[in-house]
Amino acid sequence: MAKSRRALQNELRLKYLGKIMDFLAKEEDVLRTGSNEIAFPVTDSEGNEEFIQIVVKVPTGSRDGEPYNGYYMAEEYSLKLKVQQEKAEKARIAKEKKIARDAQMRKEKAKARKTKKEKMEAELEKGK
């Protein structure tokens, strides 16, 4: 009797969850926290205990019947990162321009205040 698609997916999930657990168990205290997830305790650079959680799933695709395509998802993610980097670069350039513009404005204001102060002092001297 042929196995259902769901049963085949569960076999794959369990197989790879076991492989990941075996690999990590060499150096970590791996805990099975669900039917498709594991966790293991770690410490950060300051000695605080945290947990890393890994979820293993076999995606089926969208509801409209289009199957999951890992290659497409990786390409989409790569493009998303590229767009984010371009956006961050534009923001950095805009910030640099604003800083330069603000510095110029401060110089101009300081010069204007100095000129105004000198004029007022000159008028005071004339008035004496």
Reading across the β-sheet that carries 31-34, which strands appear in turn?
31-34, 37-43, 49-55
Total domain count, the chain = 2
In a domain, residue 63? The reply is: no
**Per-residue pLDDT at 51:** 96
- Token pair recorded at residue 110: 């300081």
Q: 92 is in which domain, residue-wise? A: 72-128
In a domain, residue 38? The reply is: yes
Closest to 57 (Cα-Cα) out of 9, 104, 98, 23 = 9
Residues 79 and 113 reside in one and the same domain: yes
In a domain, residue 64? The reply is: no
Residues 82 and 125 reside in one and the same domain: yes
**Per-residue pLDDT at 128:** 62
**Per-residue pLDDT at 101:** 95
Residues 54 and 1 reside in one and the same domain: yes
In a domain, residue 67? The reply is: no
Residues 77 and 43 reside in one and the same domain: no
In a domain, residue 114? The reply is: yes
> Would you give per-residue pLDDT tens digits along the chain (128 residues)?
788 988 999 999 999 999 999 999 999 999 999 999 999 999 999 999 999 999 999 998 888 888 899 999 999 999 999 999 999 999 999 999 999 999 999 999 999 999 988 888 888 887 76
Residues 45 and 94 reside in one and the same domain: no
- The Cα diameter of the chain in Å comes to 114
In a domain, residue 115? The reply is: yes
